[in-house]
Each structure stands twice: as C-alpha cells, then as structure tokens.
C-alpha cells in the first residue's frame, strides 16, 4: 500500500509545457505524468503512490486554486505546486494559505521547480509515514468488539478497572477480560502504549476532514 517511486502529476492544458516539465522531472530521475485537465487526472484513476501535483492556476473547467481546495473531497492529499503566468500577490497568498507547497510565477527557472517538487515529495513522504501509523492503529481498533473499544477508552482516560465497570454497569472481572483482549488485539505491550494509541485515535477523530 502506497509503495513505489514518487510520481509528479502535471496538470496543464499547454501540452508543450507539459512535455517540457515531463522531461525536466525525468532528467532528475523522477517519474512524471501529464494531464490536459483536472477531469483527465481524476478519470485516470488515482493510485495510492507517493508524489505531488504540479498545477497551472488557470485550467480548463476548473481553476487550479479551486481544485486545490477541493482535493480533500476527492480523497487526494498530494502536496500542490502551483504555476501561473498571470498571477498577482493576493492570489499567491490565498494559495499559500490554502496549503499550497509552493507558488511559482512563470517564467521560473528549472531549478526552482525542481526544488519545489522535491520539497513537496518530501512532505508527502512525511505525511504518509505518519498517516500509516494512524491508519494502522485505526484498523486495529476496528477489530475490537464494541465492549473492548469502550473499555480501552475508559482505562486510557485513567479510570481504574472497577470504575470502568461501574460506568458500564458490568463487573470488574469482565472489564479485565475486555481490557486484556484489547491490549492483545492492539498489540500494546503496556498501558503506556495503549494510552498513546488512544490519543492517536482521538486526534484523528476530532480532525476536520
């Protein structure tokens, strides 16, 4: 899941520019793929491989900036490098506030683009490795039975077994059993591990997506 070499996805309606960028990225050993429009990119089927997006601000159908803000809705979390031929400061500021990795005004030097893309890919790598840990824990959590999940949340919030038992209206011994199997299923060797996993779960549950 999510393996492979990083790929740069270039979306621009100007085919000559696409080819030039494609060549540029390949010249430094990066995989690259070009698309003439957002539609074409989305239809291409998103593989879950590391990489980043390089977008023109002005695109047929949908602007690069609008698309950038909608990425989340499409389940895409690639860092974005924006390019523009006719941009202004407010536009660049808006894009950066929206979380763009970089914003390049044409004409730009090859090296600027390569630096931006390298940083974007590195950021994606970081995001992925931390997301991997979270989703691993989340996946494990779903394998717990409802009771086990409840008990896990109670004990990691500092409740003693007997307190958790009281809250759930069951006996302490039953809590111990659920607690034990929760630990085993989550792969937590100690309570400290379990607390950290629970915090991870809470942090992702609260996050706005």
Count the site residues for a copy of itself by CB under 8 A.
24
Task: Please tell me whether residue 19 binds a copy of itself under the rule CB under 8 A.
Answer: no
Task: Please tell me whether residue 88 binds a copy of itself under the rule CB under 8 A.
Answer: yes
Residue closer to DNA, measured from CB, 116 or 165 = 165
Question: What span, in angstroms and rounded, lies between the C-alpha atoms of 183 and 167?
Answer: 20
Question: What span, in angstroms and rounded, lies between the C-alpha atoms of 158 and 164?
Answer: 9
Helix (H) or strand (E) holding 144: none
Task: Please tell me whether residue 189 binds a copy of itself under the rule CB under 8 A.
Answer: yes
Task: Please tell me whether residue 207 binds a copy of itself under the rule CB under 8 A.
Answer: no
**Phi, psi angle pair for 10, to nearest 5°:** -105, 120
Question: What span, in angstroms and rounded, lies between the C-alpha atoms of 42 and 204?
Answer: 26
Task: Please tell me whether residue 126 binds a copy of itself under the rule CB under 8 A.
Answer: no
Task: Please tell me whether residue 68 binds a copy of itself under the rule CB under 8 A.
Answer: no
CA atoms within 13 A on the CB side of 1: 7
Q: Cβ of residue 44: shortest distance to a copy of itself, in angstroms?
A: 29
Within residues 23-42, the interface with DNA by CB under 7 A covers: none
Q: Cβ of residue 151: shortest distance to DNA, in angstroms?
A: 8
Residue closer to a copy of itself, measured from CB, 66 or 88 = 88
Beta strands in the chain (DSSP E): 7-11, 31-35, 51-56, 80-84, 102-105
Look at residue 97 and give the partner it binds from DNA, a copy of itself, none, a contact being a CB closer than 5 to 8 Å depending on partner kind: a copy of itself
Distances (CA, A) of 8 to 25, 80, 146: 8, 10, 42
Site string for DNA, 138-177 (x = CB under 7 A): -------xxxx-----------xxx-----x-xxxxx-xx
**Phi, psi angle pair for 9, to nearest 5°:** -100, 115
Structure tokens at 128: 């992925």
Q: Which residues bind DNA (CB under 7 A)?
A: 145-148, 160-162, 168, 170-174, 176-180, 183, 191
Q: Which residues bind a copy of itself (CB under 8 A)?
A: 84, 87-90, 92-93, 96-97, 102-103, 105, 155-158, 189-193, 195-196, 199
């Amino acid at each position: 899941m999510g393996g492979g070499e990083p790929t740069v996805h270039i979306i621009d309606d100007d085919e000559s520019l696409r080819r030039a960028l494609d060549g540029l990225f390949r010249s430094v050993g990066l995989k690259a793929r070009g698309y003439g429009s957002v539609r074409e990119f989305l239809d291409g089927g998103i593989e879950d491989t590391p990489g980043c997006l390089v977008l023109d601000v002005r695109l047929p159908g949908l602007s690069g900036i609008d698309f950038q803000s909608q990425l989340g809705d499409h389940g895409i979390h690639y860092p974005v490098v924006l390019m523009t031929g006719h941009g202004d400061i407010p536009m660049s500021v808006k894009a950066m506030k929206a979380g763009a990795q970089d914003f390049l005004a044409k004409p730009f030097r090859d090296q600027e683009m390569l630096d931006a893309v390298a940083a974007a890919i590195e950021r994606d790598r970081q995001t992925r490795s931390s997301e991997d840990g979270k989703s691993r824990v989340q996946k494990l959590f779903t394998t717990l039975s409802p009771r086990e999940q409840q008990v896990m949340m109670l004990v990691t919030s500092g409740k003693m077994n007997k307190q958790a038992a009281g809250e759930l209206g069951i006996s302490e011994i039953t809590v111990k059993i659920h607690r034990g199997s929760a630990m085993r299923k989550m792969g937590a060797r100690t309570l400290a591990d379990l607390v950290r996993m629970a915090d991870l779960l809470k942090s992702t549950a609260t996050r706005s997506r």
